[in-house]
Amino acid sequence: MQIRLKKYVILAAGLGILSLSCSGDDEPTYEPPAPPAPVGEVVGQAKIWTTTGTGSKLLGRQDDVDIYDSTEGENPSITVDASQQYQEIEGFGAALTGSSAYVINRMDANQKNALLTDLFDPETGIGLSYLRLTMGASDFSLSDFTYNDVPQGQQDPDLSEFSIAEDEKHVIPVLKDILQISSDVGIMASPWSAPAWMKTSQSLYGGSLEERWYDTYADYFVKYIDAYASQGIEVNAVTPQNEPLHEAGYPTMKMEAAAQASFIKNSLGPTFEEQGINTKIIAYDHNFDEPGYPIAVLSDEEAYEYVDGVAFHAYAGNVSAMGEVHEAFPDKGLYFTEVSGGEWATGFAENLKWNMRNILIGTTKNWSKTALFWNLALNESFGPTNNGCEDCRGVVTVSGSGEIDKNVEYYSLAHFSKFIRPGAHRISSTEFDSSTGLQSVAFQNTDGSLVLVVLNDSGSTKSFSVINEEESFSSSLEANSVQTIVWE
């Protein structure tokens, strides 16, 4: 909250009541008092970035705070311990859907470069580090297609008509531009549907993969990975099917847990092994509310050998499902791969807090290696769409003239992606007392730097302290706001 005093400035700094900083000629701005400093000598400083629920600060750099060689203090505190390390982080980002790529690719060269630099450069931008691609069309593509479409009633068991030509129009050019900016961006690919001729429905809409085409469909994945490799693009992971329990009037395909286990153990896994494909196979790729599905796949001993991890979406259920799967199979990776904001929820503060609780702090504290939103970019009409969601929001909105609106998802991601880089590990951190409204998660980067992200989910400013070994520092965070703190 900002309180603007038009004509008079009341100074009570000596009493510690308030401090005032001037944001204009006659409009001093209230700043909350600094938290009391710990006792001891200063041994370093921590850097701070804040986004407030009011939007008054948007990834705003704050004054550094001193680190003291003491752990004494009166604030609510937590302790971080970098000697206890958990999952390795692979990245934070969104989906470069066909629609997102189209919206970005039609910008003029300078606008496009400025946007992609802002999104993917970790120094001058927010350093998004992971992308999800759709293998063929989704509900956010310009049309329906797969990479092996043939006329109705025909088949192509040798995949002689396989082609990624549709992706070469927008997805691949934009992806190459991104990789020029940040070459280590991770890539996961997910199909919404197999080619219609492989399916029980003989349509891209709904139906299941016929078992007789399992081996052929595995070859389809290999051709996709190889085709992207020929463009200089490494696909790090695939899921056998996006949202395998969902069928709709856009490209979708049902794949029950038993069928997915069978496809992985009998076709996809062995084919990758025979062809020397190192791309990870990630199971499930659907909502929190059905953890029994990935548990069933991993309980199949033969499928288990080929599966690297499990992916989740957040349209139903609770993030604790990820922790449930981790408890059952602690040696398998977990990935959060999709959620979308939209016009059904437009409040900045509430969205910021929800994203932190569930998608960023929530998934990483439940062992996720990634946290990905849905469309990277959409136009002012929430599209182009392909018979799916009509009011989903992109991480950014791009106008017809190339103007950019950075949505709440942008700032939510930024508090993680810019500071927590691929290869970092989540580290041990205690919990704030629930009465404070504070939630947090801590990481250590490969360069040794420590990162703490704190959410103040309460309605008032909170001061707190962070203890690391024999040192500590204090900070203050406005109501309904997020803070990222980085220190050596």
Question: What is the C-alpha to C-alpha distance for residues 128 and 377, in angstroms, rounded to an integer?
Answer: 13
Least confident of 13-17, 63-67, 291-295, 441-445: 13-17
Give me the pLDDT at residue 406, please.
98
pLDDT band at 14 (very low <50, low <70, confident <90, very high): very low
Strand pairing class (481-487; 77-88)? unpaired
Q: Is the Cβ–Cβ distance between 251 and 138 less than 8 Å?
A: yes
Question: What is the C-alpha to C-alpha distance for residues 390 and 375, in angstroms, rounded to an integer?
Answer: 13
Give me the pLDDT at residue 74, please.
87
**Hey, what amino acid is at 295?**
I
Long-range pairs for 106-114: beta carbons < 8 A, 24 or more residues apart:
107/398, 107/402, 108/402, 111/402, 112/174, 112/177, 113/177
The H or E element that residue 270 is part of is helix 269-275
Question: What is the C-alpha to C-alpha distance for residues 389 and 111, in angstroms, rounded to an integer?
Answer: 27
Record the tokens describing residue 340, joined without a space: 């979308």
Question: What is the C-alpha to C-alpha distance for residues 132 and 336, in angstroms, rounded to an integer?
Answer: 11
User: How do residues 326-341 score in pLDDT, each as one tens digit?
Assistant: 999 999 999 999 999 9
Which of these, 172, 176, 181, 90, lies nearest to 127 by C-alpha position? 181
Give me the pLDDT at residue 338, please.
98
Mean per-residue pLDDT, 315-323: 98
pLDDT band at 73 (very low <50, low <70, confident <90, very high): confident
Helix residue ranges, H only, 318-382: 320-328, 348-354, 361-365
Domains of the chain: 1-31 (no CATH), 39-86+426-487 (2.60.40.1180), 90-421 (3.20.20.80)
Which of these, 452, 480, 476, lies nearest to 464 by C-alpha position? 476
Question: What is the C-alpha to C-alpha distance for residues 280 and 447, in angstroms, rounded to an integer?
Answer: 26
User: How do residues 121-145 score in pLDDT, each as one tens digit?
Assistant: 999 999 999 999 999 999 999 999 9
Name which residue leads in pLDDT, 6 or 293. Answer: 293
In this predicted structure, the answer to whether residue 205 has a pLDDT above a threshold of 90 is yes
Give me the pLDDT at residue 27, please.
43
Which of these, 239, 98, 107, 241, lies nearest to 175 by C-alpha position? 98
Q: Is the Cβ–Cβ distance between 237 and 180 less than 8 Å?
A: no
Q: What angle do CA 43, 48, 54 make, to 5 degrees?
A: 150
In this predicted structure, the answer to whether residue 97 has a pLDDT above a threshold of 60 is yes
Question: What is the C-alpha to C-alpha distance for residues 379 and 400, in angstroms, rounded to an integer?
Answer: 7
Question: What is the C-alpha to C-alpha distance for residues 86 and 429, in angstroms, rounded to an integer?
Answer: 11
Q: What angle do CA 321, 322, 326 make, to 5 degrees?
A: 115
b/e map 4-34, b = 16+ CB within 10 Å: eeeeeeeeeeeeeeeebeeeeeeebeebbee
b/e map 259-284, b = 16+ CB within 10 Å: bbbbbbbbbbbebbeeeebebbbbbb
For the chain, what is the mean pLDDT?
A: 93
Question: What is the C-alpha to C-alpha distance for residues 260 and 420, in angstroms, rounded to an integer?
Answer: 33
pLDDT band at 35 (very low <50, low <70, confident <90, very high): low
What is the chain's alpha carbon radius of gyration, rounded to the nearest angstrom? 24
b/e map 143-161, b = 16+ CB within 10 Å: ebbbbbbeeeeeeeeebee
Question: How many CA atoms within 13 Å lie on the side-chain side of 70?
Answer: 12
* CB within 8 Å of 370: residues ≥ 6 apart: 89, 90, 91, 92, 93, 130, 186, 188, 335, 336, 337
- What amino acid positions are annotated as catalytic residues? 243, 338
In this predicted structure, the answer to whether residue 36 has a pLDDT above a threshold of 90 is no
SS3 230: helix
